[in-house]
Amino acid sequence: MMLKKIIVLCLSLMFLVPIVDVHALLLGDAELILDDVGIVPIHPKNGELVSITADVYNAGLKNTNFFASMITVAYFVDGELLHVDEIGDVEPGISNKIKIISPPLWKSDMGNHEIKVIVDYHDTLGDQYDSPLDNSMAKILFITPEKNTHISLEASPQYFLLGEKLSQVTVSLFDSDTNELLNDKKIILNFDGHYSSLVTNNQGHVSFSNTLSSSSSNRINVEASFSGDDVYPASNSSLILYQFPKETSSALVLKLSDSDQYDFENNFFEILIYQNSYEKLVKKIQLVPAALFDSETFWVSLPHGHVYFAEIYLDGGLFSVIDKVELQADSVVVKKISIPEMGKIKFMVTDHTNPLVVGAMITNWKYMFSAEDGFTEWIDVMPATEDPYVAKIILSDGRIVKSEPFLVFPGEQKMVGISMIPTSLNNEIPSWIKNNAGWWANDLIDDSSFVEGIQFMVQEGIISIPLQSSDFDESVDEIPSWIKNNAGWWANDLIDDSSFVEGIQFMVQSGLINLS
């Protein structure tokens, strides 16, 4: 009977005593916890002012203002206290996490630094309510500037005929500063709103296929963000896929590559397209907007089943030659046009006593330049590495003089001197010299036999060739084809003696003929 009373008493006490949450006993009534210490901006420039950030949440059971009206937070860098601030009430629950941020307080310095945050710095909550164990958090950060990324897109085919096409799209990721490929990077690829987790291969590429509709144009938009890597920001790019008109069964696309200087809209291009050989010119095109997909992309419809090649002229000078391509039915061939590096020339006009000739005008393949004080300005020209340029000088008294032929190599900067001393013929040229020239032009005698005849004429005084100041490239080590053409024309009386001697003078001044 006594045992029964004791059991009833114990049960009664259980209902009378409040139940205490064991979690609250362990964590305290307001338990502040720090998380995710960092800096803003993440990748500052050297010397840029930086703010320190952290997340704070309350893992206890009550609001912090139940225990203290003010909670302080302190920010440290490399052990030095830089700033103390205060935060407001923090409600219980991780969903009520707050972001704290200091004012800009530290001039960033590249390298490793300890960033530390202490919340409830003055212990206003008291240890019986908030354990200090989770109130401090430090992180070692390696401060580096943010790198730039670049996305390159390619689609095959980019230019397609009517109907749906399965296009293979390749995305390439580069470090924009070093141009190095970003290999083995985990990325989140956003392809027109469709997200995929991918890893770049050892060439910095990822590839995927997509079926494209037959609409007039399709723009591919791609964004790549880096997973687990905050050194590189997200980057994006786009690419337009072009479609030809219905009646097009085969086409040739010519695309300017890597050029900020030229485009088809603002420069005067002329394109000659040949079928099978130079004997059949099938199209001579001066570009109009209707023939362009964009300012760098020209296209032309051509009958299939033939081989084509093209010559491209810019501002009247030969710009590029497109190798032979064969067009099949329902096919598109894309050829990239290489952009040669421009050369620079400057003309200097003198007479036989070497003072500068004033008031001259110099014309060439397209332009006219003033040499008012004996010099022109520097002139950008297309390179001429085989067929030389010849400029025409118009003097103030109306006389016209031609320059000696000169070459211009990509990126070369050269002064071209023009003297008013004419090349002269002192005696009649022996007939055997003209015979030699014809035989040489037809490859019946070798170069040395022809040069011997030229040396004879100079040494015998039949022709006098003044050593002018024209700046010929001394690296020329073989006779250019245009001189051999001149020799054949001269042998057949198609050009006069003076025109032939101009070529001889070029060989002398280029070091191809040694007169000593």
CATH of the domain at 350: 2.60.40.10
Asked if residue 435 belongs to a domain, the reply is yes
Contact predicate 378/413, CB 8 Å: yes
Asked if residue 162 belongs to a domain, the reply is yes
Q: Are residues 361 and 331 in the same domain?
A: no
Would you state the pLDDT for residue 77? 93
Interval 321-327 mean pLDDT: 86
* Position 173, amino acid: L
Handedness of CA 489, 490, 491, 493 (dihedral sign): positive
Would you state the pLDDT for residue 471? 40
- Reported as a single tens digit per residue, the pLDDT across 292-305 is 888 888 888 999 99
Strands (E) in 161-294, as ranges, are: 165-175, 186-191, 194-199, 205-212, 217-226, 235-243, 250-256, 269-275, 281-286, 292-294
Chain centroid, CA 262 distance in Å: 14
Tokens of 387: 């067929």
Query: What whole-number distance in Å separates Cα of residue 269 and Cα of residue 313?
Result: 6
Asked if residue 196 belongs to a domain, the reply is yes
Query: What whole-number distance in Å separates Cα of residue 516 and Cα of residue 506?
Result: 16
Q: Are residues 95 and 181 in the same domain?
A: no
CA–CA distances in Å: residue 434 to residues 176, 425, 464? 61, 14, 17
For residue 453, which phi and psi values (nearest 5 degrees)?
Answer: -65, -40
Per the confidence metrics, is the pTM higher than 0.85? no
Asked if residue 516 belongs to a domain, the reply is no
* Position 329, amino acid: A
Q: Are residues 200 and 239 in the same domain?
A: yes
Would you state the pLDDT for residue 212? 62
Asked if residue 300 belongs to a domain, the reply is yes
368, pLDDT greater than 90: no
Q: Are residues 104 and 206 in the same domain?
A: no
Q: Which residue range forms the structural domain that includes residue 55? A: 22-143
Q: Are residues 138 and 46 in the same domain?
A: yes
The domain boundary, picked from 397, 419, 441, lies at 419
Contact predicate 319/312, CB 8 Å: yes
Q: Tell me the HSE value of 84 on the side-chain side, using a 13 A CA sphere.
A: 7
220, pLDDT greater than 60: yes
Query: What whole-number distance in Å separates Cα of residue 388 and Cα of residue 507?
Result: 12
Asked if residue 7 belongs to a domain, the reply is no
Query: What whole-number distance in Å separates Cα of residue 30 and Cα of residue 57?
Result: 10
Contact predicate 420/357, CB 8 Å: yes
State the burial class of residue 17 (Cβ atoms within 10 Å of its Cβ: 0-12, 13-18, 19+). Answer: exposed
Contact predicate 262/314, CB 8 Å: yes
Q: Are residues 313 and 349 in the same domain?
A: no
Full 3-state SS string of 305-373: CEEEEEEEEECCEEEEEEEEEEECCCEEEEEEECCCCCEEEEEEEECCCCCECCCEEEECCCCEEEECC
Q: Smallest Cα–Cα separation from 83: which of 111, 114, 56, 52? A: 52
Interval 154-169 mean pLDDT: 74
Spatial CB neighbours of 145, under 8 Å, sequence gap ≥ 6: 43, 44, 45, 46, 110
The helix (run of H) or strand (run of E) holding residue 84 is strand 80-87
Q: Are residues 180 and 262 in the same domain?
A: no
Q: Are residues 165 and 202 in the same domain?
A: yes
Interval 395-400 mean pLDDT: 73
Spatial CB neighbours of 459, under 8 Å, sequence gap ≥ 6: 515
Which range has the worst mean pLDDT, 370-374, 388-392, 398-402? 398-402
Q: Are residues 125 and 33 in the same domain?
A: yes
429 or 159, which is more confident = 159
Q: Are residues 26 and 139 in the same domain?
A: yes
Q: Are residues 39 and 84 in the same domain?
A: yes
**Residue 258: pLDDT band with limits 50, 70, 90:** low
Q: Are residues 235 and 168 in the same domain?
A: yes
- Reported as a single tens digit per residue, the pLDDT across 451-506 is 777 777 776 666 665 544 344 444 445 677 777 877 888 888 777 776 677 677 76
Return the axis-axis angle of helices 447-459 and 497-509, rounded to nearest 10°. 100
Asked if residue 303 belongs to a domain, the reply is yes
**Residue 514: pLDDT band with limits 50, 70, 90:** low
79, pLDDT greater than 80: yes
Contact predicate 234/173, CB 8 Å: no
Would you state the pLDDT for residue 117? 93
Would you state the pLDDT for residue 205? 83
Would you state the pLDDT for residue 76? 94
The domain boundary, picked from 208, 243, 278, lies at 243
What is the dihedral angle through the alpha carbons of 138, 144, 146, 150, rounded to the nearest 10 degrees? -130
- Reported as a single tens digit per residue, the pLDDT across 341-354 is 778 888 888 776 65
The domain boundary, picked from 143, 167, 184, lies at 143
Asked if residue 3 belongs to a domain, the reply is no
CB atoms within 10 A of CB 403: 22
Which range has the worst mean pLDDT, 107-116, 199-208, 243-252, 255-264? 255-264
Number of domains in the chain: 5
